[in-house]
């Protein structure tokens, strides 16, 4: 049952006067109204029955304190009981007893969800837009990796663990000892890694076959473990070491930091305002996630907060036609460097004239015909594009004719469907205007470092995609409230009354 506690201050609340006016938690309490959290979580509580629950707003604020100062469940409760600024931020009287750490854990796992946290981020950003804290019209998008809270196992070791788990589950469920099952091979002594995987796969399949023959339909847990083991073995990514690598955290995956470095865990992608450096949207996926897959919905979230989007910044990973089109539909301009992966054209050899739709080679020859083509690739997908034909007599008189004629009687330039559009973008990116504008993207790298170094986002606290997603969004909320307080304190004079901000900056009085 959700209990509505009175907000009347006790006599001891006079102690809060000792907190400096420029303290982060005091400023954020004056600027952001967190009362919307109670309405947001109202439906997750029974209205008339059950034990009175702690106020959702206070519980969420405890989680924000936890991620703001990178504390454990136990430590945040201990610190909050002793710290006046924490108690002031929580909105309770100094003598109030805070909940046990176990209740904080239950609230996070049973009450909070990804959608709820998305709505919380959205509402905080909306309030900032409404009060003039966010005035910029540009955002950056980027992804950062999070190490899993467990180590990755080789397929051999994982298969050994699965075999042991099947045996232990069967014996625990039936109370009988399994006899005649083979001992796990010593795969460590096998020098050939491929051979070791084959040996362990044969071992696990033998265990599955023997236990499945003895287990009855009533042994539900045993059958579930067997089914799970079969699914893992049948996944081609598993043997290639690109699938599941741990039984503790089954959602974590191996991803790439660079061409030579990889990591094991998750990726968190977020959108941030380039001027105020406030995060507007967050999404989390496994380590194999392709950057930009959530770009469309994250930018939509940002627009929903009330922001006016005019510029979107990103790195080369976001230079893909669907993302560029989504940004265009939002009536914003993309500042994303051309990626050589999707734009395969040597501009030292070819230039394009968009008015005449003609390409010119380095020798001055111009295309005279164009044809669209569609062909099948070896992997089964279609390849589409255009073939531009140079005039045959021009090519024959060219000093590079013999080199070009090795593959065709004519010199043909084959380009993708989007090459023409990408060419125009690449030309603009060579200008000083683009280079100067693109400097704004650098701010998001600092936010990545801040989240990892000071707010625990370098490593997952729990296990599973949902847990890491909740951690990422709480960390984003924590850095947001810290940043909002910093922005407000940067005004030479500010007055906050009735949720309105009056800013006096450089001799100018502005009402927001």
pLDDT digits (tens, 9 = 90+) for 118-129: 999 999 999 999
Residues 106, 167, single domain; the answer is no
Residues 29, 93, single domain; the answer is yes
pLDDT of residue 329 exceeding 90, the answer is yes
Number of structural domains the chain divides into: 3
d(CA 35, CA 127): 12
The answer to the question of residue 476 being in a domain is no
Which of the listed residues 395, 428, 461 is the one where a domain comes to its end?
428
DSSP, collapsed to helix, strand or coil, labels residue 448 as helix
- What residue numbers bound the domain in which 180 lies? 155-239
Token pair listed for 97: 């007893």
Helix (H) or strand (E) holding 500: strand 500-505
Residues 26, 102, single domain; the answer is yes
- pLDDT for the residue numbered 52: 46
DSSP, collapsed to helix, strand or coil, labels residue 67 as helix
The answer to the question of residue 466 being in a domain is no
Residue 253: CA count within 13 A, CB half-sphere = 17
* Plot region of 182 (φ>0 → left; ψ -120 to 50 → alpha; else → beta): beta
Other Cβ atoms closer than 10 A to 26: 18
Which of the listed residues 399, 428, 457 is the one where a domain comes to its end?
428
pLDDT of residue 501 exceeding 60, the answer is no
The answer to the question of residue 326 being in a domain is no
Q: What is the mean pLDDT of residues 469-488?
A: 95
Residues 106, 28, single domain; the answer is yes
The answer to the question of residue 341 being in a domain is no
The answer to the question of residue 366 being in a domain is yes
Confidence label for 292 from pLDDT (cuts 50, 70 and 90): very high
- pLDDT for the residue numbered 54: 64
CA 278 to chain centre: 15
> 3-class secondary structure for 441-491?
HHHHHHHHHHHHHHCCCCECCCCCHHHHHHHHHHHHHHHHHHHHHHHHHHC
Q: What is the mean pLDDT of residues 482-502?
A: 67
Q: DSSP state, 200?
A: H
* Plot region of 312 (φ>0 → left; ψ -120 to 50 → alpha; else → beta): beta
Backbone angles phi, psi at 431, to 5 degrees: -80, 160
Give the predicted TM-score (pTM) of the model.
0.86
Q: How many helices (H) and strands (E) are present in the chain, helices listed first?
A: 19, 14
Confidence label for 11 from pLDDT (cuts 50, 70 and 90): low
Q: What is the mean pLDDT of residues 148-154?
A: 94
């Amino acid at each position: 049952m959700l209990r509505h506690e009175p907000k009347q201050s006790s006599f001891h609340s006079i102690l809060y006067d000792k907190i400096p006016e420029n303290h982060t938690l005091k400023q954020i309490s004056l600027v952001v109204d967190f009362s919307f959290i109670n309405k947001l979580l109202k439906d997750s509580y029974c209205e008339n029955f059950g034990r009175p629950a702690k106020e959702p707003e206070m519980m969420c604020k405890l989680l924000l304190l936890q991620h703001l100062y990178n504390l454990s469940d136990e430590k945040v409760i201990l610190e909050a009981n002793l710290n006046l600024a924490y108690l002031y931020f929580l909105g309770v009287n100094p003598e109030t007893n805070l909940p046990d750490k176990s209740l904080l854990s239950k609230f996070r796992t049973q009450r909070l969800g990804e959608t709820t946290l998305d709505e919380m981020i959205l509402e905080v950003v909306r309030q900032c837009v409404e009060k003039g804290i966010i005035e910029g019209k540009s955002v950056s998008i980027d992804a950062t990796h999070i190490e899993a809270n467990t180590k990755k196992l080789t397929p051999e070791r994982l298969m050994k663990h699965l075999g042991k788990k099947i045996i232990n589950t069967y014996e625990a469920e039936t109370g009988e000892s399994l006899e005649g099952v083979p001992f796990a091979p010593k795969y460590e002594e096998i020098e050939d890694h491929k051979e070791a995987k084959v040996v362990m796969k044969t071992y696990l399949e033998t265990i599955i076959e023997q236990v499945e023959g003895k287990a009855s339909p009533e042994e539900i847990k045993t059958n579930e473990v067997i089914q799970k083991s079969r699914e893992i073995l049948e996944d081609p990514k598993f043997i290639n070491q690109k699938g599941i690598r741990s039984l503790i955290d089954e959602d974590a995956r191996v991803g790439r930091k660079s061409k030579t470095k990889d990591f094991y865990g998750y990726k968190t992608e977020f959108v941030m305002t380039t001027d105020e450096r406030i995060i507007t949207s967050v999404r989390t996926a496994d380590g194999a996630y392709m950057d930009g897959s959530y770009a469309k919905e994250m930018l939509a979230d940002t627009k929903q907060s009330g922001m006016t989007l005019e510029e979107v910044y990103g790195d080369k990973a976001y230079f893909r036609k669907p993302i560029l089109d989504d940004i265009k539909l939002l009536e914003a301009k993309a500042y994303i460097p051309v990626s050589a992966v999707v734009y395969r054209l040597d501009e030292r050899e070819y230039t394009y004239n968009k008015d005449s739709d003609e390409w010119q080679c380095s020798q001055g020859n111009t295309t005279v015909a164009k044809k669209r083509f569609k062909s099948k690739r070896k992997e089964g997908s279609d390849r589409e594009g255009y073939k531009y034909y140079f005039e045959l007599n021009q090519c024959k008189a060219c000093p590079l004719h013999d080199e070009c004629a090795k593959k065709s009687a004519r010199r043909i330039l084959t380009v993708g469907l989007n090459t023409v559009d990408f060419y125009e973008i690449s030309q603009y990116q060579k200008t000083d205007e683009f280079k100067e504008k693109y400097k704004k993207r650098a701010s998001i790298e600092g936010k990545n470092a801040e989240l990892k170094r000071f707010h625990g986002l370098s490593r997952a606290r729990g296990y599973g995609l949902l847990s890491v997603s909740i951690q990422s969004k709480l960390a984003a909320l924590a850095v947001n409230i810290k940043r909002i307080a910093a922005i407000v304190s940067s005004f030479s004079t500010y007055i906050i009354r009735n949720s309105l901000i009056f800013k006096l900056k450089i001799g100018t009085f502005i009402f927001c």
